[in-house]
Amino acid sequence: MTHTENLSNEVKLEKTVIKEERQLPITAAILSLFIALFALSLAAIFIRLSEVELGSNATIFNRMWIATICFGVWNSFKQIQFHRLKDSNITAVDSHNSSWQQNLGLILLMGIVSSISVILWAWSLTQTSVANSTLLRNLTPVFTTLFGWLFLKQSFDITFLIGMAIALVGVITISITDFSYSINNITGDVAALFAAVFYSIYILIVKQLRARLSSSTILLWRCFIGTVFTLPIVFLTEQQVFPHSYSGWLAVISLSLVCQVLGQGLVAQSLNQLSPGFVATTLLFEPAITAIIAWVIFSEQLSLLNWLAFCVILIGIYLAKPNQTTVKTNEVND
């Protein structure tokens, strides 16, 4: 058997494994997305706790390198499983070489864009309130829908757009009593807004990569590139790179495992079955979850307006739920 035939068989097997991984019911994909939503809702709290000891860039650097190790271990187990499934007559080659090399440009762009997004968001949390920062960063669906329509020729029905608009109204209502445009925090607000722009680009890139790579591979590359990208920034801007207390380490480890590994991993998985616009719209509920957690842990009071806003967001998410039109995208099947 020639090397070309071996490589062809390897590619076919890899695609089979990826397709099997993607065969999840819509209900399972939605459940994964809501688990991811809860995990991601803890991010602002963990970042704030970490920034008691570390700067924003050091916080993100520690988040990335810890997650890189976790995804590296997970991918190693998957590689072992992959090689066990291979036909004994096929020459062993790297199962992901053909895929990641062909998509190296998108992978690099994904890692850089996602790193810029989380760096901007972490920095915004030092300049403005958690409510303002989380609110503005969760305007992602506006940019996701816009970029998806402009560059990927994705289409959404009128019900989806109405649901997204209702959810946006709810998110804006959550923090309307605290929203401020003072000179002291306007830079943080702008940074959070740009974080939403970059995160929407990340979601669309992941959607393209999920047709060719597994979610764990995508997340490994994202975190590895993020580690390399943030390393020089940390050394140039931060005096302290690592936490010096148990509470500091607990904050960055929790941020990495809960938010980066679990949360982002499930988001990447759900993007296989659900449209980027629906995923981004569901993640609009993140500020509401964060506010509830802050109420439980820090005894922060929620007004009646807040609770009404949560209901509005849930209605918007329900209207934006995926159907044949919502998940439609003009993509070429593998």
Q: What percent of the chain is modeled with pLDDT above 90?
A: 18
Confidence band, pLDDT 50/70/90 cuts, at residue 152: confident
Does some domain include residue 326? no
pLDDT of residue 179: 58
- Dmax over CA atoms of the chain, in Å, equals 70
DSSP symbols for 14-81: HHHHHHHHH---HHHHHHHHHHHHHHHHTHHHHHHHHTTTS-HHHHHHHHHHHHHHHHHHHHHHHHHH
Please indicate, yes or no, if residue 274 is contained in any of the structural domains: yes
Judge whether residue 108 has pLDDT over 60.
yes
Please give the Cα distance from 33 to 49 (Å, whole number): 25
User: Has residue 327 been placed in a domain?
Assistant: no
What number of residues does the chain have?
A: 334
- Residue 111 counted as domain residue: yes
Domain ranges, residue 310: 3-15+25-319
Evaluate whether 286 touches 134 at the Cβ level (below 8 Å). yes
Give strand ranges (E) for the chain: none
Alpha carbon separation from 141 to 19, 62, 160 (Å, rounded): 27, 28, 11
The domain total for the chain is 1
pLDDT band at 65 (very low <50, low <70, confident <90, very high): very high
**Strand partners of residue 154:** 329
Whether residue 17 is predicted with pLDDT greater than 70 in this model: the reply is: no
Residue 332 domain flag: no
pLDDT band at 184 (very low <50, low <70, confident <90, very high): low
Residue 136 placed within a domain: yes
Judged against a pLDDT cut of 60, whether residue 203 lies above it is answered with: yes
- Quick one: average pLDDT of 39-45? 90
How confident is the model over 217-223, as a mean pLDDT? Answer: 88
Phi, psi of 154 (to 5 degrees): -80, 145
Q: Considering the domain boundaries, does residue 145 fall inside one?
A: yes
Residue 143 inside a domain? The answer is: yes
Among 290, 151, 274, 268, smallest CA distance to 219 is for: 268
- Region 20-48: mean pLDDT is 82
Q: Which residue has the higher pLDDT, 299 or 228?
A: 228
**Averaged pLDDT, 60-73:** 91
Task: Tell me which DSSP letter residue 264 carries.
Answer: I
pLDDT digits (tens, 9 = 90+) for 139-148: 777 777 778 7
